[in-house]
Amino acid sequence: MEQQKILDYQNYMAYAIAFFIPVFPVLNNLFIAGFLILGLISLAKTYVKPRLTSVSVIMLSLYALHLFGLLYTSNTERGLFDIEVKLSLMIFPIAFLGYSGTTQENYRATLRFFLLGTLTAAAFCLLQSAYKVLILDYGYWHFLTSRFSVIVHQSYFAMYLIFALLIHAYLEWPLMRKKQRFRTFGNIVIFLFLSIAVVLTGSKIGFIMWFFIMLGLMIALIKTLRLKWLPIILMVIISSIIGVIFQNAPMLQERVVNMVKVAKSDEVDHDSKESTAVRSLVYSSAWEIVSTQDWFGQGTGDFQDRLDEVYNKRQYTMAAEQHLNAHNLFFQTWIALGIPGLTMVIGLFSLMFYQSIKHREYIYLGFTLLFLLISLTESALNMRAGVIFFAFFTTLFAKKTSNAPNAH
């Protein structure tokens, strides 16, 4: 009886974590702590047989490597802060050791709670923007970018929205049911709402992620449905509505145009404040560091000091003033932990792709692709919005695939 009660509480904690990741990140610390404590109790009472998945081993090793990096870092204060931010890389593999609730029912429920949380967060963002624009008479741009995404950074919120879109497709597949027209209509409305919310974040990497995911879903629907033209028509409708939003929002148009200009340009203005241009300067600075540093990197806490040195030397005003990180997970890890850290991150993604493809867990595959894409433009494990999301769902997916019948 006690064992079942602990498992029930673990399930509730997992559901709460999934729900509050996009809704109330600070409050989530309580549920994460509760999930860890319950997992340790379950282990202490031997309710489950502990077995680390391969992904959990790599995550714990990566966290241990960051701890080791403190031994040769000069900026200990920043290093300790980085260790605190990345704590989820250690907490979730340990907590899931004492969790046996990755049944199909609980697994789908956890995904459903994240979907519900993301819809709640998107609705809140939309309502607060509507209040400012329609009631307080603020400018239309309060529907866009960081003024819309007020809970977490817009790039991470865009990732949450697209992952929620994927979850909805996974739970409701094949989405369009001939005998359930109201349910089909509801699925289309949710798809449209989440897609519009992605556009309102103004995240350029979000646009790219959305395009790849929607293209993949359209191809899968064409393969599944008897009426092959239906998913194409749906894509046309959604794209047309998004096009209307872009047409009436010069700020969104400007973001895309600036991105194209920077991509075509041979030189970038050192004082530019445009995000794509600044990233270009940051990447060139990061490359200078990794191409000349020792193989073991700068240390866990010294990555920012080293970047700031290069920014100041090259007179990259914006990057230096804002102390911008590498805005790329691979560069960031390479600077801090050298070749061992870079290899471990690449190995982690490789293992995730291998597991998801081998077990045909397409939601796991989509999650891995999304996080890989955002990691190309953000230091995704240097923000709590990224690391908690990544560590929780990666450990969940790895545990689920390890329990599959053909996993061993």
Whether the per-residue pLDDT at 408 is higher than 50: the answer is no
SS3 345: helix
> Picking from 169-173, 273-277, 358-362, which range would have the lowest pLDDT averaged per residue?
273-277
Per-residue model confidence (pLDDT) at position 400: 92
Per-residue model confidence (pLDDT) at position 261: 67
329 in any annotated domain: no
Per-residue model confidence (pLDDT) at position 278: 84
Q: How confident is the model at residue 162 (pLDDT cuts 50, 70, 90)?
A: very high
- pLDDT tens digits for range 313-356: 998 888 888 899 999 999 999 999 999 999 999 999 999 999 99
Distance CA 402, CA 400 (A): 5
Whether the per-residue pLDDT at 26 is higher than 90: the answer is yes
Query: pTM of the prediction?
Result: 0.94
Q: How confident is the model at residue 405 (pLDDT cuts 50, 70, 90)?
A: low
- pLDDT tens digits for range 94-103: 999 999 888 8
Per-residue model confidence (pLDDT) at position 97: 94
Distance CA 221, CA 331 (A): 37
Whether the per-residue pLDDT at 379 is higher than 70: the answer is yes
- Mean pLDDT across the chain: 91
Whether the per-residue pLDDT at 260 is higher than 70: the answer is no
The DSSP string of 340-373 is: HHHHHHHHHHHHHHHHHHHTT-HHHHHHHHHHHH
- pLDDT tens digits for range 270-286: 666 777 788 888 999 99
202 in any annotated domain: no
Per-residue model confidence (pLDDT) at position 402: 83
Per-residue model confidence (pLDDT) at position 186: 87
Structural domain including 31 reads 1-50
SS3 270: coil
Whether the per-residue pLDDT at 116 is higher than 70: the answer is yes
45 in any annotated domain: yes
Distance CA 175, CA 104 (A): 20
> Picking from 168-177, 208-217, 327-336, 362-371, which range would have the lowest pLDDT averaged per residue?
168-177
Q: What percent of the chain has a predicted confidence (pLDDT) above 70?
A: 94
Radius of gyration of the chain (CA): 22
Number of domains, the chain: 1
Per-residue model confidence (pLDDT) at position 235: 87
25 in any annotated domain: yes
Whether the per-residue pLDDT at 178 is higher than 90: the answer is no
Amino acid (one-letter) located at 146: S
29 in any annotated domain: yes
4 in any annotated domain: yes
Which is nearest to 301 in space by CA: 338, 336, 328, 345? 336
Distance CA 294, CA 297 (A): 6
User: Could you say which DSSP state residue 268 is in?
Assistant: -
Cβ atoms of 89 and 360 within 8 Å: the answer is no
42 in any annotated domain: yes
Per-residue model confidence (pLDDT) at position 270: 67
Which is nearest to 271 in space by CA: 225, 213, 311, 304? 311
Whether the per-residue pLDDT at 312 is higher than 70: the answer is yes
280 in any annotated domain: no
Give the pLDDT mean for 101-129.
Answer: 95
> Picking from 94-108, 120-134, 246-260, 293-307, which range would have the lowest pLDDT averaged per residue?
246-260
Spell out a b/e string for 36-61, using b for 16 or more CB atoms within 10 Å of the CB, else e.
bebbeebbeeebbeeebbbbbebbbe
Please identify which residue in the block is written with the tokens 């931010």.
Answer: 85
Greatest CA separation for the chain? 68
